[in-house]
């Protein structure tokens, strides 16, 4: 490709389409600012325009946008224009191809969109649709928002809280579906465990008291206190296992992508109960 070739102007008689706007924005980024090393992504559509290409209902069509966001490597010598907003990345993600155009992955496009959207309701709709529509996991979204240093904005934090609640709700629905679809014994749902007259042991998403098998959904999102939260998860799991309770740790992604494998793991834990020493007696309470 000749990066110094001129951009051919569009005849005034031809109407501009959404794809034309996107291609012209990419053309600006590709033909300005010099060449890049081989294998380096040159430019890709990001932000709201990318979300529209990913078929987000809450993202406006490209023709309705004042500017098209284009993601480029940090070293590109480019300036934003009236119709193109240049977004720089230290390490650009691998683009996906949609309608013949290089497009940023959903999580990155979402972070770039949230960076310029001031309306809290719009931000919340975008984040919720990302999870509800199955585009990506909440943890992936939050990781990108954290990388972009957007979690200091109150309206983004509020939207993330709603996102995590949405993600947990979907994960719980998949867990119910797994038990039904693979004919697992019915557990006690959403319970707290305590030692008789002793301390609280922690909450569980599902518990089979006869087999002393527990399932815990890992719906954590990466934040600054992630290490401390993971340590808390680990301490709880180790304490329960010392009492003879087998804890099966499931993630929303595993439930979505490999539910049959997760059902096999739980079934194996239930079948192995007879080979283990009896667990300590615990009090089971509704959560």
Look over the chain and give the mean of its residue pLDDT values, rounded to a whole number. Answer: 84
Q: For 76-85, 128-137, 224-233, 263-272, which range has the lowest pLDDT when averaged over its residues?
A: 224-233
Residue 37, pLDDT > 60, answer: no
Q: Tell me, what CATH number does 202's domain have?
A: 3.40.960.10
Residue 16, pLDDT > 70, answer: no
Length of the chain: 287
Same domain, 178 and 155: no
Strands (E), the chain: 44-46, 68-73, 84-89, 96-98, 101-103, 188-194, 200-208, 213-217, 246-250, 283-286
Same domain, 157 and 225: no
Residue 103, pLDDT > 90, answer: yes
Q: For 71-80, 239-248, 259-268, which range has the lowest pLDDT when averaged over its residues?
A: 71-80
Which distant-in-sequence residues (6+ apart) come within 8 Å of 261 by Cβ? 254
Same domain, 85 and 54: yes
- The C-alpha atoms of residue 156 and residue 119 are separated, in whole angstroms, by 10
Average pLDDT of span 21-32: 74
Strands (E), 164-261: 188-194, 200-208, 213-217, 246-250
Residue 17, pLDDT > 90, answer: no
pLDDT level of residue 91 (50, 70, 90 thresholds): confident
Residue 62, pLDDT > 50, answer: yes
Q: Do the Cβ atoms of 147 and 82 come closer than 8 Å?
A: no
pLDDT level of residue 10 (50, 70, 90 thresholds): very low
Q: Could you tell me if residue 102 is inside a domain? A: yes
Q: CA 193 → CA 67, 128, 187, 208, 233, distances in Å? A: 54, 32, 14, 12, 14
Q: Collapsing DSSP states into helix, strand and coil, what is residue 201?
A: strand
Q: Could you tell me if residue 222 is inside a domain? A: yes
Predicted model pTM: 0.71
Q: Could you tell me if residue 233 is inside a domain? A: yes
Domain end position, chosen among 154, 170, 186: 170
Domain count of the fold of the chain: 2
Same domain, 183 and 203: yes
Residue 72, pLDDT > 50, answer: yes
Domain carrying residue 160: 18-170
Domain end position, chosen among 170, 199, 233: 170
Same domain, 84 and 195: no
């Amino acid at each position: 490709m000749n990066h110094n070739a001129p951009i051919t102007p569009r005849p005034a008689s031809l109407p501009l389409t959404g794809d034309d706007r996107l291609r012209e924005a990419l053309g600006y980024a590709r033909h300005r600012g010099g060449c890049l090393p081989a294998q380096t992504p040159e430019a890709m559509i990001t932000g709201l325009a990318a979300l529209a290409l990913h078929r987000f209902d809450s993202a406006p069509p490209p023709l309705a946008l004042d500017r098209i966001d284009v993601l480029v490597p940090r070293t590109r010598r480019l300036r934003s224009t009236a119709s193109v907003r240049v977004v720089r990345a230290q390490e650009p993600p691998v683009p996906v191809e949609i309608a013949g155009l290089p497009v940023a992955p959903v999580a990155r496009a979402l972070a770039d969109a949230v960076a310029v959207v001031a309306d809290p309701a719009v931000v919340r709709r975008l984040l919720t649709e990302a999870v509800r529509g199955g585009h990506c996991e909440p943890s992936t979204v939050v990781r990108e928002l954290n990388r972009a240093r957007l979690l200091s904005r109150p309206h983004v934090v509020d939207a993330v809280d709603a996102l995590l609640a949405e993600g947990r709700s979907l994960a719980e629905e998949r867990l119910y579906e797994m038990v039904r679809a693979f004919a697992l014994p019915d557990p006690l749902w959403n319970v707290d465990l305590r030692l008789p007259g002793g301390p609280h042991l922690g909450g569980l998403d599902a518990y089979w008291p006869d087999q002393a098998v527990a399932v815990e959904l890992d719906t954590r999102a990466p934040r600054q206190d992630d290490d401390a939260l993971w340590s808390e998860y680990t301490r709880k799991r180790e304490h329960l296992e010392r009492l003879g309770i087998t804890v099966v740790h499931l993630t929303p992604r595993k439930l979505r992508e490999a539910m049959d494998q997760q059902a096999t793991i739980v079934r194996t834990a239930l079948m192995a109960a007879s080979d283990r020493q009896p667990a300590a007696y615990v009090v089971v309470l509704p959560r």
